[in-house]
Amino acid sequence: MNKLIRVVVADDHTVVRQGLCALLSAQSDLTVVGQTGEGLEVVDLVSKHKPDVLVLDLMLPNVSGFDIARQVAKLHPRCRVLILSMHATKAYVAEALRCGAAGYALKASDATEILRAIQEIAAGRRYLPPSISEADLEPYETRDSGEFDPYDTLTGRERQVLKMVAEGLTNAAVADKLSISPRTVEIHRANAMRKLDLQNHAALVRYAVKRGLISVEND
C-alpha cells in the first residue's frame, strides 16, 4: 500500500470513537486526520481535511447520518462514506446507499471487518455487511410497485357502491338496497372515486365498463 488512506471519524460515543480511532491508527495503511462527536461539525471537517474516507455513525446528535452522507456525497464526491451503524437492517443499508454512502458496516462486527470495509471503499468498491447481499436490497430500491392496483384498495362496501352507481342507481336507491343512509353511500362513492382518481360520474362509468364491473349490453 503506497498511499495512506486518510480517514475522518464521526461518532458521538466517545468510547466507540476512541476505540475506533485507536483501532485505525494501529493500521499501517490508515491515518485518522480528524474526528468529531458533533453531527453539525462533520461536513466542515470533511471540507477541511478532504479525507479519502468518512467513517460516519448514523446516529449523531442533532442531525441524521443519512443527511450528512447526502451532503458529503454532494459536496465532496471524492470522499467515500462508510456508514457505521448499530442497525443490521437491510432498510438502513439500502437507505445509506440511496444517500450516497459507499459502504455500510455494523458496529457489532469485528474490528477486521471494519478495516476491510474502509479498504474496500477506499479502493472504489462497495462494501456491504456479510449478512446482506446486493439482491437483498432490491426491494428497498423501488418504492412504487408496478403491480399496485388502486381497485384493490377499495373496501367491499366501496366496491358495491361503485358498481351500483355505475349501473345508474341513485344514491338513494343504493342506500335502499344496502340498508345504509344516502349520506354513507355518498361517502363510499366519494372515497372510491378518490382512490381510483375518477373525476366525475362519466369517468366512473367508463372505469366500471373498462374494468368489467358492469356489462354494456349490445342490442
Partner 1 sequence: MENFGSQVWTDLLAKLNALSADRLRLENELQQVNALLLEAQNAALSASRSQRETIQLFVQLTSALPVVFWILESATLNVLFVSPSFETLTGLPSSDLLKDITVWRKIVHPEDMPALAERLQRLRTLEAMPDTERTFRIVRATDRAVRYVRIMVFPIFDAQGQPYRRAALLEDITERHSAEQQLRQSIDFQNSIFANAEIGIVVLAQQARFLAWNRYMEETTGFSEQDVLKGKHADVLVPSHPLLRGSEPALRGETHTEAPCVVRHHRTNREIWGQLNWGPLRDARGGISGAIGLMRDVTEQLSTEQRLRASEAMFRTLAEGSPDGLLLTQGSTIQYVNPTLLRITGYESKELIGADQAQLLPEVERDRVLPRMAEFLQKPDAQCREALELYLVRKDGRLVHVSGQSAHVHLQEGAATLTIIRDLTERDHAAGLQKNLDRERAQRSRTLEALQMVQDLSRRLANAQETESRRVARELHDDIGQLLTGLKLSLQRVDPAKIEDDTGRTALHNAQELVGDIVERVRRLSLELRPTILDDLGLFPTLRWLAERYERMMHIRVQLLARGVDRRFPPELESTAYRIAQEALTNVARHAKVNEATVRIWSDGVHLGLQIEDHGQGFHPEGSLSARQAAGLSGMMERARLLGGTCTIESRPGEGTRVTAELPLQPAAPEGLLEMQDALSRPSEPSEPNAGQTAQR
Name which of 76 and 87 has its Cβ closer to partner 1: 87
Q: Which is nearer to partner 1, 47 or 153 (CB)?
A: 153
In whole angstroms, what is the distance from residue 160 CA to residue 132 CA? Answer: 45
- The 10 Å Cβ neighbour count of residue 185 is 25
Residue where the block lists cell 462533520: 42
8 A C-beta contact, residue 68 and residue 60 = yes
The angle at the Cα of 51, spanning 48 to 56, to the nearest 5 degrees, equals 100
Phi-psi group of 179: left, alpha or beta (phi > 0 → left; psi -120 to 50 → alpha; rest → beta): left
User: Judged by CB, which is closer to partner 1: 15, or 202?
Assistant: 15
Using CB under 8 A as the criterion, which residues of the chain lie in contact with partner 1 when the complex forms? 13, 15-16, 19-20, 22-23, 58-59, 64, 66, 86-92, 94-95, 107-108, 110-111, 139-140, 143-145, 147-148, 150, 152-157, 159-160, 178-179, 184, 187, 191, 194-195, 197
CB of 125 to partner 1, least distance (A): 24
Nearest residue (CB) to partner 1, 28 versus 145:
145
Closest approach, Cβ 84 to partner 1, in A, equals: 10
